[in-house]
């Protein structure tokens, strides 16, 4: 356990630079792809039948954070071509701290499609099925906590730092969704998708009260009323004083095929969810749409561990200044911090089920067909996570030649930046449709020389969304003048 501590804190520092999230691509909304129903269940592609094979049909990864760029953490030193981090003595820590917000968000997630199926029913209806493996999380780190860690105690002596906004949530689950969309008039199309959610492993922080008072001797007094809820093969070993001795993964669960199968295929942590959306054709050229996605929850009942703390305690070691000043190594500070926290944080352990909710999204979109093949679009996406809202706005230009070729170029305002470029390309080769989409592509790059090798690094990069895959598709309905609309743009 001791050797793992530095990796735990290192992972937290890496997550400060990147966020991995399952937020769907804004570019996907305007592409003639079977996956476009993921952002609005009323949308459908022009194919009469599509089949998505495991892994090949879709991998979605979104890396993002809301407060620092890649170049704020890893940058070129002024005195050489080497790369330094924000913990290096030559780095201006105050400049890094100026970029920190009151609430700094990290939201990891990856989605892998295990199976997909969509087919037409009659002239105006469409049925689709998705089975997806998902890992997602959301974390909020209060700005003052980061300032205390990086800058030290001096500015906070005698003050109480409110950390009630601190939260964390991580889920690994399987989603099985069955959806249906239909034209209800010449102008209106409505789609809905129901979801069964099967939780595999999860953890969440229930923070009712958390604050730090910095004392005159630079020690910290914690006031805590919070719980950490865990569902999964985790062993929490406590001593006779109810102090946490160690937290380990139960490796024995994975030593046999039946153990792995029980872990991956268990149905004891179940939940429900749904998506609903609509499109409306104002005229032959102008269409608007709206959707609410990922409304749902998971009730965790299997292999439950609740760690609860409701007390006041003293704590020391919450300080990275020693690393910056080179009086201690990162490993030494990591060990001190985790030891101090473990010894001070008195907890009680129970095994009560708990519930986690999915972050949900609200999408409002519109498109205007300049020609039969070319359109422009405007898309607003709001992602609600607890009490926080993430918003983005995308302008796009889109070309759709049936399903033989579909491409889109977008410009997104999000994450306090206005230089996010996105692009997508899909083309058909026989029964196979290949596609790749990327949102928020870095525009500006720096070149750093390391050992006579030139390495490009993005200068302003805090977000990237990548989706790629291959579909098996049949048929291609090209809209005639008097036909009802089948897709968002063509």
**Which range is most confident: 4-13, 249-258, 333-342?**
249-258
Assess whether pLDDT exceeds 90 at residue 157.
no
- Residue-number span of the structural domain to which 189 is assigned: 2-474
Q: Is residue 336 part of a domain?
A: yes
Residue 488 — very low, low, confident or very high, per pLDDT cuts 50/70/90?
very low
Residue 5 — very low, low, confident or very high, per pLDDT cuts 50/70/90?
very low
Q: Is residue 481 part of a domain?
A: no
DSSP assignment letter at 404: T
pLDDT at 404: 85
**Which range is most confident: 68-72, 137-141, 356-360, 446-450?**
356-360
Q: Is residue 225 part of a domain?
A: yes
Quick check: 237 and 250 in contact, CB under 8 A? no
Q: Is residue 163 part of a domain?
A: yes
Task: Encode pLDDT of 270-281 as tens digits.
Answer: 999 999 999 999
**Which range is most confident: 129-143, 267-281, 417-431?**
267-281
Closest alpha carbon to 260 in 299, 233, 298, 231: 233
Q: Is residue 382 part of a domain?
A: yes
Q: Is residue 204 part of a domain?
A: yes
Region of 165 please: left (phi>0), alpha (psi -120 to 50) or beta.
Answer: alpha
pLDDT at 100: 79
Question: Which stretch of DSSP H or E encloses residue 37?
Answer: none
What does the DSSP assignment read for 175-210? EEEEEEEEESSSSEEEEEEEEEEEEEEEEEEEEEEE
Residue 378 CA to residue 372 CA, distance in Å, equals 18
Q: Which of 16-20, 170-174, 444-448 bottoms out in mean pLDDT, i.e. has the lowest? A: 16-20
pLDDT at 214: 81
Assess whether pLDDT exceeds 50 at residue 344.
yes
How far are the Cα atoms of 123, 187, 240, 264 from residue 483, in angstroms, in the given order?
Answer: 9, 11, 74, 45
State the average pLDDT over residues 448-473: 69
Q: Is residue 489 part of a domain?
A: no
Residue 178 CA to residue 272 CA, distance in Å, equals 12
Residue 8 — very low, low, confident or very high, per pLDDT cuts 50/70/90?
very low
Residue-averaged pLDDT of the chain? 78
What does the DSSP assignment read for 421-475? EEEEEEEEETTEEEEEEEEEE---EEEEEETTEEEEEESS--EEEEEEEEEEEE-
Percentage of the chain beyond pLDDT 90 is: 31
Residue 331 — very low, low, confident or very high, per pLDDT cuts 50/70/90?
low
Tally of structural domains, the chain? 1
State the average pLDDT over residues 318-332: 62
- Read off φ and ψ for residue 337, nearest 5 degrees: -65, -45
Q: Which of 8-17, 87-96, 411-420 bottoms out in mean pLDDT, i.e. has the lowest? A: 8-17
List Cβ neighbours of 203 (8 Å cut-off, separation of 6 or more): 168, 169, 170, 228, 229, 230, 231, 232
Residue 337 CA to residue 186 CA, distance in Å, equals 64
pLDDT at 91: 67
Closest alpha carbon to 394 in 422, 373, 436: 422
Structure tokens at 37: 């129903």
State the average pLDDT over residues 415-434: 81
- Read off φ and ψ for residue 11, nearest 5 degrees: -65, -40
pLDDT at 454: 65
pLDDT at 293: 95
pLDDT at 19: 35
Task: Encode pLDDT of 23-40 as tens digits.
Answer: 456 788 888 889 999 999
Q: Is residue 324 part of a domain?
A: yes
Q: How many residues does the chain have?
A: 490
Question: Which stretch of DSSP H or E encloses residue 82?
Answer: none
Structure tokens at 454: 């030139």
Residue 197 CA to residue 122 CA, distance in Å, equals 30
What does the DSSP assignment read for 117-170? EEEEETTTEEEEEEEEEEEEEEEEEEHHHHHHHHH-SGGGBT-EEE-TT-EEEE
CATH number of the domain within which 16 lies? 2.40.160
């Amino acid at each position: 356990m001791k050797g793992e501590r530095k990796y735990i804190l290192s992972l937290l520092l890496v997550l400060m630079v990147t966020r991995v999230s399952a937020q769907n691509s804004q570019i996907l909304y305007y592409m003639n792809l079977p996956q476009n129903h993921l952002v609005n269940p009323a949308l459908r592609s022009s194919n009469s039948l599509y089949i998505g094979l495991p892994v090949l049909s879709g991998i979605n990864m979104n890396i993002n954070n809301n407060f620092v760029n890649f170049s704020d953490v890893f940058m070129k030193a002024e005195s050489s071509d080497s790369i330094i981090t924000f913990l290096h003595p030559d780095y201006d820590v105050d400049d890094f701290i100026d970029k920190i917000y009151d609430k700094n968000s990290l939201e990891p997630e990856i989605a892998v499609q295990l199976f997909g199926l969509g087919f037409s029913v009659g002239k105006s209806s469409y049925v689709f099925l998705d089975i997806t493996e998902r890992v997602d999380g959301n974390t909020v780190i209060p700005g003052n906590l980061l300032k205390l860690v990086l800058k030290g105690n001096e500015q906070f002596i005698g003050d109480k730092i409110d950390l009630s906004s601190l939260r964390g949530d991580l889920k690994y689950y399987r989603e099985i969704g069955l959806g249906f969309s239909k034209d209800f008039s010449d102008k209106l199309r409505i789609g809905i998708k129901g979801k069964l959610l099967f939780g595999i492993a999860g953890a969440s922080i229930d923070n009712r009260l958390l604050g730090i008072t910095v004392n005159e001797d630079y020690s910290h007094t914690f006031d805590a009323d919070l719980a950490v809820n865990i569902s999964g093969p985790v062993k929490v070993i406590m001593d006779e004083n109810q102090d946490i001795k160690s937290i380990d993964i139960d490796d024995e669960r994975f030593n046999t095929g039946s153990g792995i199968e029980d872990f991956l295929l268990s149905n004891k942590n179940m939940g429900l969810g749904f998506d609903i959306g609509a499109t409306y054709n104002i005229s032959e050229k102008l269409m608007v749409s709206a959707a609410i996605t990922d409304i749902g929850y998971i009730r965790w009942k299997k292999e439950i561990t609740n760690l609860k703390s409701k007390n006041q305690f003293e704590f020391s070691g919450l300080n990275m200044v020693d690393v910056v000043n080179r009086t201690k190594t990162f490993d030494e500070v990591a060990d001190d911090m985790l030891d101090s926290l473990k010894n001070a944080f008195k907890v009680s352990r129970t095994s009560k089920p708990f519930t986690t909710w999915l972050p949900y999204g609200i999408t409002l979109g519109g498109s205007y067909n300049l020609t039969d093949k070319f359109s422009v679009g405007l898309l607003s996406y709001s992602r609600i996570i607890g009490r926080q809202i993430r918003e983005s706005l995308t302008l796009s230009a889109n070309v759709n030649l049936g399903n033989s070729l579909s491409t889109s170029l977008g410009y997104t305002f999000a994450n306090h930046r206005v230089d996010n470029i996105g692009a997508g390309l899909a083309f058909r080769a026989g029964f196979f449709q290949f596609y790749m989409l990327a949102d928020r592509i870095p525009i500006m790059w720096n070149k750093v020389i390391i050992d006579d090798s030139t390495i490009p690094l993005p200068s302003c990069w805090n977000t990237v969304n990548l989706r790629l895959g291959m579909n098996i598709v049949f048929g291609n309905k090209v809209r005639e003048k008097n036909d009802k609309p089948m897709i968002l743009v063509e």
